[in-house]
Amino acid sequence: MKKLLGATAVLAAFAFAAVQWFGPVSAQMAEPEAPAAPAAFDASKLPSTHFGAEQPSSMHASLGAPGFSHASVPANPLSPEAKPVGQQVCTACHAKETQNFAHTTHALGMDAAFAANPDTPTCEACHGPGSRHAQDPSVPGAIIAFTRNGGSPVTAQTGACLGCHSGGPRDHWAGSIHERGDLSCSDCHNPMAKFSMEGLTARQSISETCATCHKDIRQQFNRRSHMPLPEGQLSCADCHNPHGTLNAVLLKTDTVNETCYQCHAEKRGPFLFEHAPVRDNCVNCHTPHGSNQHALLVAPIPMLCQQCHTHLNHPNDLMTSANIGTGTNPDWKAMSRGCINCHAQVHGSNNPSGARLHQ
């Protein structure tokens, strides 16, 4: 009897172990239960996108949004009744323009979009609907013309460009000095031909394009001491944003000093002993484009220093041009580097004995 009970206990233990080991396996092999029905989707809680559109008709479009695939036809205020006519109508007459345009960045994007969807606006994505222009090309303003004598208002021209190029560096175009000056995008850019390596500018470079209006500034770069713009090491757009900023002179940063620090980081500090005019504004002592004085200074040393430091902690000698090395009464304080012979760290000093900016 005892042996029978012992055998029964062993069988029961074996059965319990089998359930523990093989139970999960059999559960995995079983058919999964149907998932619960998802909650109703409320599209109004998400921002609208183009990803919910119907499937594109071509393989190219299914890979993404090529080129101008989402371009729209801008409204032409001078031809509100005009209708789009398509690229073929435009190229039938404008063969030369089409040939010149074929090498530009815009043409590459338009060709990709047109190959994906022949209904995509190309020429009319910039010039507006062309039905009225096709009927009578002599009517000024029948399409959006990007010339001064084409009949289209500047607001319509810039509006067509900003339809794709809004935002980013052009956030502050509205109200900028160039916008208030009634400038159009086509005054600086030529999207129909490739004259430049970048930006589709109307001249070979950004600086040459700016110089068409700012001739006085361009001449300053011909002075003895100048920023390396003529040598091609920088351009106007390295310091300025021609499409608008929050300051009056279109600087890319908030202040003159912050702009200068982008290259002259060693002048930023912080310094234990600061030079107040330096901390205030770099152009207190320097002219940013070009000068006939050393290091872009607005005046020669020591005359520059004496604009603030007159008869202070030195013998009461007001230096003049007669005291420089080639003058009639040379003075040692005006020789060589002048004041900075001794006050060498004029931008600021971290030396414990640098209160006078000596070290």
What CATH number should be reported for the domain holding residue 176?
A: 1.10.1130
pLDDT number for residue 259: 94
Q: How many CA atoms lie within 13 A of 4 on its CB side?
A: 1
Q: Is 123 found in the same domain as 85?
A: yes
Asked which of 36-45, 82-91, 181-190 is least confident by mean pLDDT, the reply is 36-45
Which residue do the tokens 């910039």 mark? 126
Residue 325 belongs to some domain of the structure: yes
Three-class SS state of 189: strand
Residue 37 belongs to some domain of the structure: no
Tokens at 146, concatenated: 């990007």
Q: Which residues contact 332 (CB under 8 A, 6 or more apart)?
A: none
Residues 288, 291: Cα–Cα separation, whole Å: 8
Q: Bridge partners of 273?
A: 349
Q: Is 176 found in the same domain as 162?
A: no
Count CB neighbours of 55 within 10 A.
6
Last residue within a domain, chosen from 220, 252, 284 = 252
Q: Is 70 found in the same domain as 145?
A: yes
Residue 58 pLDDT class (50, 70, 90 cuts): very low
Residue 130 belongs to some domain of the structure: yes
Three-state SS for 66-79 is CCCCCCCCCCCCCC
pLDDT number for residue 50: 36
pTM listed for this prediction:
0.73
Three-class SS state of 212: coil
Residue 10 pLDDT class (50, 70, 90 cuts): very low
pLDDT averaged over every residue in the chain:
81
What percent of the chain has pLDDT above 70? 80
Q: Is 276 found in the same domain as 329?
A: yes
Nearest-CA neighbor of 334 among 342, 343, 324? 324
What domain range includes position 312?
265-349
Residue 45 pLDDT class (50, 70, 90 cuts): very low
Q: Is 310 found in the same domain as 271?
A: yes
Residues 158, 340: Cα–Cα separation, whole Å: 51
Q: Is 113 found in the same domain as 77?
A: yes
Residue 23 belongs to some domain of the structure: no
What is the C-alpha R_g of the chain? 36
Determine the average pLDDT of the residues in 270-292: 94
Residue 278 pLDDT class (50, 70, 90 cuts): very high
Three-class SS state of 313: coil
CB-based contact 156:76 (threshold 8 Å): yes
Nearest-CA neighbor of 346 among 329, 334, 359, 330? 359
Tokens at 325, concatenated: 């090395």
Residue 45 belongs to some domain of the structure: no
Residue 13 pLDDT class (50, 70, 90 cuts): low
CB-based contact 112:120 (threshold 8 Å): no
Last residue within a domain, chosen from 166, 200, 230 = 166
Q: Is 292 found in the same domain as 232?
A: no
Domains identified in the chain, total number? 3
C-alpha torsion sign, points 230, 233, 239, 244:
positive
More confident residue, 42 or 103: 103
Residue 313 pLDDT class (50, 70, 90 cuts): low
Q: Is 230 found in the same domain as 198?
A: yes
Q: Is 195 found in the same domain as 154?
A: no
Nearest-CA neighbor of 87 among 118, 55, 132? 118
Residue 61 belongs to some domain of the structure: no
Last residue within a domain, chosen from 144, 166, 188 = 166
More confident residue, 197 or 13: 197
Residue 52 belongs to some domain of the structure: no
Q: Is 185 found in the same domain as 122?
A: no
Residues 271, 286: Cα–Cα separation, whole Å: 20
> What is the CA 270 to chain-centroid distance, rounded?
29
Which residue do the tokens 């004995």 mark? 353
Residue 271 belongs to some domain of the structure: yes
Tokens at 29, concatenated: 């092999």
Q: Is 217 found in the same domain as 175?
A: yes
Cβ burial, residue 158 (10 Å; 0-12/13-18/19+) = buried
Q: Is 160 found in the same domain as 79?
A: yes
H/E run at residue 291: strand 290-291
